[in-house]
Structure 1
Amino acid sequence: MIIRPAKELFLEGNETAILLLHSYTSHTRDMKKLAEYLNQHIGCTCYVPLYKGHGIKPEALLNTTINDWWKNIQEAYYFLQQRGYKKISLIGLSVGGIFSLKLAQEEQIERLIVMSVPKDRTPERLKQRLIDYAKAYKQLEGKTSEMIAKELLPFQEMPLHSFKTFQEFIHHTMDNVSHITAPVEIYYGNKDDSLYEKSAGFVFENVSSNDKKIKAFPNSTHLMTLGKDKESLFEEVMSFIK
């Protein structure tokens, strides 16, 4: 099976802009439906950037780091600024939520939504996530078990210190959430790992925002924008953004 490369998504609308940030090892499909919904229903401009090494063959991720992805997010924010948008809101899923929290600590953000955001991820878990993604991708390509086993070796041989910077980025961001003052909503799924509920609680308790809300979605797993609660989630997002 031939897998088409993912592309960034820019939907032009009114003067209200939203930057939507996808998760680690995924791509813009995480946010595509939500971006289209918001653009169609309230007319806002939506931009879903694609991080370096994502949305193409997994080997591309062997040569990228979280610093590359963070640079992509900063460039996406500046892209909106340069186009004249003064009111920019952020929506981030999983690691995209980490990037959203980080950006909200450094820039003047209109509104902020984070979903399934992790307070911590060990280098071992981050590495395994990459291996699992590479394996699933190659299975989707229709490769044999022997081919897959051979092609997974570079992923399995990656040193853990390659993922330590990733973990430290998450820790540093979480250690500084008190710098966030923008209105914020924090979502988690009841069918996701319980650590995400704890992370959501931590963010809620520690941001300095006067306008803040935490909300659970009963039928949602990790990728909340693609899950069973997506209709009610989209409505909640729209209500908060507009």
Structure 2
Amino acid sequence: MLNILPAKEIYLQGNEHALLLLHSFTSHTRDMKTVATALHNQGYTCYAPLYRGHGTHPEQLLHYQVDDWWQDVVNAHQFLLDEGYQKISVIGLSIGGIFALKLAQLERLKQIIVLSVPFDKEPEQLKQRIIDYAHNYKTIEGKPPLQIAQEMEPFENMPLHAMNVFQTFIQATMEQLDRIIIPIAIYYGEKDDALYTQSAETIYQHVHSSRKQKKGFGNSKHLMTLGRDQEAIIKEMIEFLQI
């Protein structure tokens, strides 16, 4: 049976401008590895924390919820402050984008870039993401179908309460978009669900940033930082961060 190595945080020290890179829900820091490497090569300090329960056996996800992952983001931001960085920008993918928006409402950031951000998510959809992740993980491990079916029961029987809290967190963040006044870039994949195109427009219209841009990428699905537009997205990020 295949033993999948757990993911790790990424910390690449560079100049005085630190980038906090936030991965998506049920994924891990590989979402940001190529981006972090490319931006570090441009001189930036890059830090991608790993949310609790992510990047390891899916059973770990059952022990945490959105408030824990948000606290991980708050702690990561504080880590950069403690390291002496006063110029901090945030790049967030999917739920990482939600966290970036939330952080921009509460802290002094230089700029943010958000990708594939949902303006709402049904609790059932969020639960299904965990179920799909768990099933795929166990399949990759090479477990037999009967064992997988037995091990999937806790995921299938997971109560929706934590997912309701998750949905409320997203909605509350979206209701405070007018508090964002720093430069923001909003990217979405044109091959992703139409919800994300709509969400990008919602964010664009409601933030109070004097410098804001919205851009769709024609070859991208949801995990934009890993897709076919990866190079073009990194190029856009570099241009946006340098202004």
TM-score normalized with structure 1 length: 0.99
Q: Deviations over 1:171-198 (max 9, x none)?
A: 0000001100110000001000000000
Q: 2:14 matched to which residue of 1?
A: 13
Q: What secondary structure is seen at the aligned counterpart in 2 of 1:60?
A: helix
CA distance in 1, matches of 2:59, 2:87: 37
Q: 2:61 matched to which residue of 1?
A: 61
Give the AA of the match of 1:9. I
Does residue 96 of structure 2 align to residue 96 of structure 1?
A: yes
Does residue 36 of structure 2 align to residue 35 of structure 1?
A: yes
Q: 1:211 matched to which residue of 2?
A: 211
CA distance in 2, matches of 1:235, 1:162: 37
Write the mapping of 1:67-82 to structure 2, written as runs, cut at 5 A.
67-82=67-82
Q: Using the TM superposition, give the Cα deviation of residue 105 of structure 1 relative to its aligned residue in structure 2, in angstroms.
A: 0.3
CA distance in 2, matches of 1:170, 1:194: 18
Q: What secondary structure is seen at the aligned counterpart in 2 of 1:36?
A: helix
Give the AA of the match of 2:121. R
Q: Deviations over 1:2-41 (max 9, x none)?
A: 100000000000000000000000000000100000001x
Q: 1:126 matched to which residue of 2?
A: 126
CA distance in 1, matches of 2:104, 2:162: 26
Q: 2:230 matched to which residue of 1?
A: 230
Write the mapping of 1:167-182 to structure 2, written as runs, cut at 5 A.
167-182=167-182
Does residue 87 of structure 2 align to residue 84 of structure 1?
A: no
Q: 2:148 matched to which residue of 1?
A: 148
CA distance in 1, matches of 2:216, 2:131: 30
Q: Using the TM superposition, give the Cα deviation of residue 161 of structure 1 relative to its aligned residue in structure 2, in angstroms.
A: 1.5
CA distance in 1, matches of 2:148, 2:100: 34
Report % sequence identity: 54
Q: What secondary structure is seen at the aligned counterpart in 1 of 2:220?
A: coil
Q: Deviations over 1:194-239 (max 9, x none)?
A: 0000000000000000000000000000000000000010000011
Q: 1:26 matched to which residue of 2?
A: 27
Q: What secondary structure is seen at the aligned counterpart in 2 of 1:216?
A: strand
Give the AA of the match of 1:13. G
Q: What secondary structure is seen at the aligned counterpart in 1 of 2:7?
A: coil
CA distance in 1, matches of 2:132, 2:202: 28
Q: What secondary structure is seen at the aligned counterpart in 1 of 2:101?
A: helix
Q: Using the TM superposition, give the Cα deviation of residue 162 of structure 1 relative to its aligned residue in structure 2, in angstroms.
A: 2.1
Give the AA of the match of 2:51. Y
Give the AA of the match of 2:199. S
Q: Deviations over 1:117-164 (max 9, x none)?
A: 000000000000000000000000000110111000000101112210
Q: What secondary structure is seen at the aligned counterpart in 1 of 2:108?
A: coil
Q: What secondary structure is seen at the aligned counterpart in 2 of 1:158?
A: coil
Aligned length: 241
CA distance in 2, matches of 1:182, 1:76: 20
* Ranges in structure 1 where 5+ consecutive residues have no aligned partner: none
Q: 2:193 matched to which residue of 1?
A: 193
Give the AA of the match of 1:127. K
Does residue 115 of structure 2 align to residue 115 of structure 1?
A: yes
CA distance in 1, matches of 2:214, 2:33: 23
CA distance in 1, matches of 2:100, 2:11: 18
CA distance in 2, matches of 1:134, 1:234: 30
